[in-house]
Amino acid sequence: MGKSLVPSRKRGTSGPMQPRKKLKVPWVFILLCLSPWILGFLLFTAYPMIASFYQSFTKFNLIESPKWIGLANYKRMFSDDPDFWIAMRNTIWISVISIPLRIAFATFAAWILTKPKKGMKFYRTLFFLPAMVPTVAASMSFTYIFNPSYGPINNFLQHIGIKNPPFWFLDPVWSKWGLILLGLWGIGDTMIIYLAGLLDVPRSLYEAASLEGANSWQSFRYITLPLITPVIFFSGVTGIIGSFQYFTQAYVAAGQVNDYSHSMYFYATHVYFSAFRAYEMGYASALAWVLLVITLLCTMVILKTQKRWVHYPNGSLFK
Amino acid sequence: MLKKRMIALFAVSALIVSGQAAFMGASHAAPRTVTVWSPFSGDGLAIWDAAIARFEKTHPAINVVSVGSVDMAKSLAAINAGTGPDISVANGAGNVGWFCSTGAWQNLNKNIASKTVGLDVKSIFPASVLSSTISVGNRCALPFAAEVVGMYYNKDMLAKAGFTKPPTTVEELTAYSKKLTTFDSAGNIKTAGFVPWVGYNNPYGFGAQDLGFMFGAHWYSPNGAPAFGTDPLWAKAFNWQKTFITDVFGGGNFTLGKSRLLKFTAGAGDEWGGDSDFMTGKTAMWIVAQWMAGAYCDNTGNWVLNPCNHPYINFGVAPTPVLAAMKSTNYGAGRFSAQPMGISKGSKNPTDAWEVLKFLATDTKLQIDYSNWGTSIPATKAALASKDLVYPAVYKTFFDIVAHPRSGYHPLMPTGEHLDEVELDDLMAGWQAGSVTNLSDALTSAGANVAKIIERQGK
């Protein structure tokens, strides 16, 4: 019998595990291995962040040297820039409406996908497919599909008796709803996480609940929902970060329909326009830093409240 | 010993002097390089490069490196990094105000005024062309090919409605449109006479620039302040637009007209394809630049302007209609901008770059060859008067527009990427949508916003 590769611990023994032997690796070697990341971080993350922080206190138009103006960019943002408030309003709207809707829809879609007994893989692929469509192509397609003149959606709505269907992306009242629908259509990536969460719920809990006489709603409310709160928490945090950076879909759709009403003008669009249309790099940097602070605050609020509503399998719920 | 030292000193001195002389001689003999970045490509770039070759022949000491397919965004990034070209060519005039004010392009006033290497710009270029190369007294660009805007009209549609010539005034334009606009049984617009709607046929369609031009409205007062709130012609222009929508498309009801137009414009065909609304006969008249004539002249879809023997439709080109009260002075003029070229900030060889720039802007053969190849209008008086220019009869209107003393671009101010135009287009969109109700306040506010932009971005 050959020598065991596991040096100290025998199977079935209950004694404490012996500590592994520490590898003696020279620091230089470790740093050398880490150097691609360190260099990348310093050049492409740390330096741009420091530079943009400095530039946020300057007037900088790309051509002339930055000129120190103190807090003027920040002051202007809150007191003298109507577009800032339009962008902020639109961004808050999309966050407040889209995040809960995405969570609910992803949960629902994932729940449906736990049901079929046959063709599970096919249905999962089908639901996930829209998430693989490039964002720009999807956004352009949606403006076509929802076109009030020749789009199939309005043709269908008129066919079923709705005489004056909405003008969707062309109507400031409906344009953001068009974007919400676009987001829900491409929910596949979030749905997969929810599906994993749902499949992770032990079946024994449902069986016990069933024996106790719980109906479907009660099983969902008291078993499924608490056990998928870590997934909800995760998608809430990433949703907030994503919604404050919401850009591509809105930029493409707004360009397609000439959104002069600014109903699809979001915070990230404002940063982009300030930087590359007004060439006000200093102001755009200030906008970017405010965006970071807002995102950070929102994330911190969710993190702080998670103790109250997020149940981890090894946490309070099972103690 | 002393003798030996003297000999050594002499030898070293001789070596230094001869070396210096050799170096100086070499620097004179080596060609000086000027780099030119342009957005041109394909055959257009070949014509451009042929002109550069002609320049090099007459200026053997200057080596010109031409790089095509470079847009201004790339040029600006390079200028910012200190690695920009000596000369760059922009696609449009919208940013000239910003290029001049920031110094991205050098002020050429001294070069132009120079007694030895200067340029008599007023005798070489029409006034209309020069208007898009200057901002607040700083001429930082010279013009190349030009873009002229005129009104295209469908001759058959007009004839069917009983019109033998295009409208010349905005009042006639309204009357024509009433007759040319038809609706289907559901009340949707079937054919439109003219569509004064920002967002239609964009990005090169009708906008506040055209509306202002039709009414002779001033963008800025003589002191440089935005005139949107102070020049009553702006309010007159916007009110005309609203009345037009109400009467022509809504039968007296603005909300109905707006709603119909929104649906009509949403269903517009592709401006660049064979199904644009003008080509399919859905719209009888529209205002757009000269280069679209290539599309209308060639039913094979290859945009061949000359000789325009197989046009998509039976069309004509007329100057933009103007207010009847201004017809005697303003009709025949048009919105016009030249393709600007400038010497970059940080140019390593600005003296030679000026020579190259002067040549590119004034070489008659280049202007003619480029115009005959594509659909652009030459920017010099000599080229405009040349018999070597070849263009179809329908194109003549654009040449007449360039020659008109009232043609030109609105004053260019340091407003980023033509943010003054964006401001007015936004207002126009709000006005046509009905969300802007107090026009006077909105115009004043737009003026104040543009003033702020100028203040922030100007010196």
Task: Enumerate the residues of chain A whose CB falls inside 8 A of the CB of residue B202.
Answer: 258
CA distance A60 to chain B (A): 10
Q: How high is the mean pLDDT of chain A?
A: 88
Query: Looking at residues B14-24, what average pLDDT do you find?
Result: 47
Domain B148-334+412-457 CATH assignment equals 2.60.40.10: no
Cβ–Cβ gap A148/B262 under 8 Å: yes
* pLDDT for the residue B24: 44
Residue B8: per-residue pLDDT: 55
Nearest to B202 among A167, A258, A277 (CB): A258
More confident: A155 or A312: A155
Query: What pLDDT was estimated at residue B23?
Result: 45
**What pLDDT score does A236 carry?**
92
The mean per-residue pLDDT over the stretch A254-277 comes to 91
Residue A88 CA to residue A74 CA, distance in Å, equals: 14
Per-domain residue ranges for chain B? 31-146+338-403, 148-334+412-457
Residue A15's pLDDT is 53
The answer to whether the Cβ–Cβ distance between A261 and B453 falls below 8 Å is no
- B416-426 pLDDT per residue, tens: 778 899 899 99
* Residue B417 with chain A: CB contacts under 8 Å: 276-279
The pLDDT assigned to A18 comes to: 65
In B124-204, which ranges are E strands? Answer: 134-135, 138-139, 142-154, 182-183, 189-194
**Nearest-by-Cβ selection for B426 from A149, A260, A279:** A260
Strand partners, B337: B147
* Interface contact B428-A260, CB threshold 8 A: yes
- Tokens 């407003």 belong to which residue? B415
Collect all residues of chain B within an 8 Å Cβ-Cβ radius of residue A87. Answer: none
Query: Are the Cβ atoms of A149 and B266 closer than 8 angstroms?
Result: yes
Residues of A with Cβ-Cβ distance to B453 under 8 angstroms:
278
pLDDT at A164 over 90: no
The pLDDT of residue A9 is: 44
Q: Distance from A231 to chain B by nearest Cα, in Å?
A: 41
Percent of chain B with pLDDT over 70: 93
- The residues, ordered by sequence, that sit 6+ positions from B211 with a Cβ below 8 Å of its Cβ are B196, B217, B237, B238, B241, B428
Span B366-387, mean pLDDT? 92
pLDDT at B311 exceeding the cut of 90: no
Report helix, strand and coil shares of chain A as percent, to nearest 5: 70, 0, 30
B contact residues 265-284, partner A, Cβ 8 Å cutoff: 266-267
> Measured between alpha carbons, how far is A82 from A71 in angstroms, rounded to an integer?
18
Gap between the Cα atoms of B104 and B89, Å rounded: 12
A261/B430 CB distance under 8 A: yes
Which residues does A130 contact at the CB level (< 8 Å), separation at least 6? A138, A185, A186, A187, A188
C-alpha distances out from residue A203 to A111, A208, A223, B108, Å: 14, 9, 10, 80
pLDDT of amino acid A23: 72
Instruction: List the 141-170 stretch of A: residues with Cβ below 8 A of B.
Output: 147-150, 167, 170
Asked whether the predicted pLDDT for residue B11 surpasses 70, the reply is: no
Residues B419, A278: C-beta atoms closer than 8 Å: yes
Tokens found for residue B25: 């001689």
pLDDT score, position B414: 86
Tell me if A280 and B426 make a contact (CB, 8 A cut-off): no
Tell me whether residues A172 and B435 touch, CB distance under 8 A: yes
- pLDDT for A163 equals 83
The C-alpha of A67 sits at a distance from chain B's nearest C-alpha, in angstroms, of: 12
Q: Chain B contact for A279, CB < 8 A?
A: yes
Q: What pLDDT was estimated at residue B95?
A: 85
Give the pLDDT score at B337: 86
Residue B12 pLDDT > 60 = no
- Write out chain A residues lying below 8 Å of B73, CB-based: 276
DSSP category for residue A45: I
Confidence of residue A7 (pLDDT cuts 50, 70, 90): very low
Could you list the beta-strand ranges (E) of chain A. Answer: 58-59, 67-68
Mean pLDDT taken over chain B: 89
Q: Hey, what CATH topology would domain A81-318 get?
A: MetI-like fold (1.10.3720)
Mutation site, B101, B197, B263, B450, interface A, largest A CB count within 10 A: B263
> Each residue of A23-63: pLDDT tens digit?
788 889 999 999 999 999 999 999 999 999 999 999 998 88
Phi (first) and psi of residue A67, to 5 degrees: -120, 125
Find the residue in B nearest to A261 (Cα): B430
Amino acid identity for residue B40 in this structure: F
Q: Which of B266, B422, B453 sits opposite A170 (nearest CB)?
A: B266
- The gap from C-alpha B305 to its chain's centroid, in whole angstroms, comes to 19
Q: How far is B193 from chain A (nearest CA, A)?
A: 19
Euclidean distance between CA atoms A271 and A277, whole angstroms: 10
Question: Cα distance from A65 to chain B (closest Cα, Å)?
Answer: 9
Q: Does B425 touch chain A (CB under 8 A)?
A: yes
Can you tell me the mean pLDDT for A89-96? 96
Span B100-143, pLDDT tens digits:
988 999 999 999 999 999 999 999 999 888 988 999 899 999 99
Counting Cβ atoms within 10 Å, is residue B40 exposed (0-12), middle (13-18) or buried (19+)? Answer: buried
Q: Check B416 against A262: CB less than 8 A apart.
A: no
**DSSP codes joined into one string, B412-447:** P-S-TTTHHHHHHHHHHHHHHHT----HHHHHHHHH
Reference A191, options A113, A134, A299; nearest CA is A113
Percent of chain B past pLDDT 90, that is, above it, reads: 65
Contacts of B76 in chain A (CB under 8 A): 62-63
- What are the chain A neighbours of B422 within 8 Å (beta carbons)? 277
Give the contacts of B432 (CB within 8 A, at least 6 positions apart): B197, B198, B241, B242, B245, B258, B261
Chain B nearest C-alpha distance from A130 (Å):
26
| Cα A282 from chain centroid (whole Å) | 27
| Predicted local distance difference test score (pLDDT) of residue B266 | 86
Q: What pLDDT digit, counting tens, does each position of B223-267 carry?
A: 889 999 999 999 999 999 999 999 999 999 999 999 999 889 988
Residue B204 reports pLDDT greater than 60: yes
Question: Between residues 387 and 406 of chain B, which touch chain A (CB distance below 8 Å)?
Answer: none
A50 inside 8 A of chain B by CB: no
Architecture, CATH, for domain B31-146+338-403: 3-Layer(aba) Sandwich (3.40)
pLDDT at B219 over 90: yes
Contacts across the A-B interface (CB distance below 8 Å): 73
**CB within 8 Å: B456 and A280:** yes
Is the fold of B31-146+338-403 the same as that of B148-334+412-457? yes
Q: In this complex, is the C-beta atom of A270 within 8 Å of any C-beta atom belonging to chain B?
A: no
Say which residue, B362 or B376, is predicted with more confidence.
Answer: B362
With contacts defined as CB-CB under 8 Å, which chain A residues touch B98? Answer: 279
pLDDT tens per residue across span B337-353: 889 999 999 999 999 99
- Tokens standing for B98? 């910003």
Mean pLDDT lowest among A2-11, A235-244, B39-48: A2-11
Torsion-angle region of A17 (φ positive above 0: left; ψ -120 to 50: alpha; else: beta): beta
pLDDT at B156 over 80: yes
User: What span, in angstroms and rounded, lies between the C-alpha atoms of B433 and B425?
Assistant: 12
Q: Would you tell me which residues 228-247 of chain A have a C-beta closer than 8 angstroms to some C-beta of chain B?
A: none
Q: Report d(CA A88, CA A267) in Å as an integer.
A: 6
Between residues 104 and 163 of chain B, which touch chain A (CB distance below 8 Å)? 104
Determine, for residues A63 and B433 on separate chains, whether the beta-carbon distance falls below 8 Å: no
Distance, in angstroms, between B94 CA and closest chain A CA?
A: 11
> For chain A, which residues make up each domain, given as ranges?
28-68, 81-318
Q: pLDDT value at position B151?
A: 96
**Four-point Cα dihedral A159, A161, A166, A168, nearest 10:** -30
